[in-house]
């Protein structure tokens, strides 16, 4: 039987994963001829996600591209494109499937670059009054003096 402490240890990482905003991602990969490669990106409800891709190598410089929701709804489908930029406003939280398809090519592999960028949600933006948050020059002088005193303290380390 699991104790309350061990159960808490198991649930904390899960909670951290659930409430953290997804990180921006970029990847370059080789898409073999006649193959499809799919990637799964978690997204939060109403969190803006921009997907940009470009075929940077291979004959024809083109692939098929799709984005599918966690529930299986096809959001975007492009045929034989060399690049694209799409912004998705997730209507549901979960793993979105991003696929690159080269099955129409029987000989040529493709080198594909893509990146996923998450826009800042309202409330997470930097304040407009950032200039008021800058410390006055007097505080900077005090901090520099503290460093000088710390260096003179001896003992091989900083003393403050």
Residue 123 inside a domain? The answer is: no
**Global confidence as pTM:** 0.65
> Is the per-residue pLDDT at 24 higher than 90?
yes
Mean pLDDT of the chain: 80
Domain count, the chain: 1
| Residue 116: pLDDT band with limits 50, 70, 90 | very high
* Count of C-beta atoms within a 10 Å radius of residue 34: 14
pLDDT (0 to 100) of residue 46: 84
Residues 6+ apart with CB under 8 A from 93: 42, 43, 44, 45, 70
> Is the per-residue pLDDT at 5 higher than 60?
no
Residues 6+ apart with CB under 8 A from 34: 102, 103, 105, 106
- CATH code, 88: 2.60.120.680
| Residue 119: pLDDT band with limits 50, 70, 90 | confident
Residue 76 inside a domain? The answer is: yes
Residue 31 inside a domain? The answer is: yes
């Amino acid at each position: 039987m699991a104790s309350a402490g061990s159960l808490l240890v198991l649930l904390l990482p899960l909670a951290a994963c659930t409430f953290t905003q997804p990180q921006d991602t970029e990847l370059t990969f080789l898409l073999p001829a006649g193959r499809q490669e799919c990637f799964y990106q978690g997204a939060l409800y109403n969190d803006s996600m921009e997907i940009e891709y470009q075929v940077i190598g291979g004959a024809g410089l083109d692939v098929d591209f799709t984005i599918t929701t966690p529930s299986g709804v096809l959001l975007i489908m492009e045929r034989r494109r060399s690049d694209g930029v799409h912004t998705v406003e997730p209507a549901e939280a979960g793993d979105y499937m991003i696929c690159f398809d080269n099955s129409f090519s029987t000989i040529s592999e493709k080198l594909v670059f893509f990146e996923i960028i998450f826009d800042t949600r309202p409330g997470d933006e930097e304040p407009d009054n950032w200039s008021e948050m800058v410390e006055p020059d007097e505080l900077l002088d005090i901090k520099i003096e503290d460093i000088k005193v710390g260096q003179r303290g001896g003992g091989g380390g900083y003393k403050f």
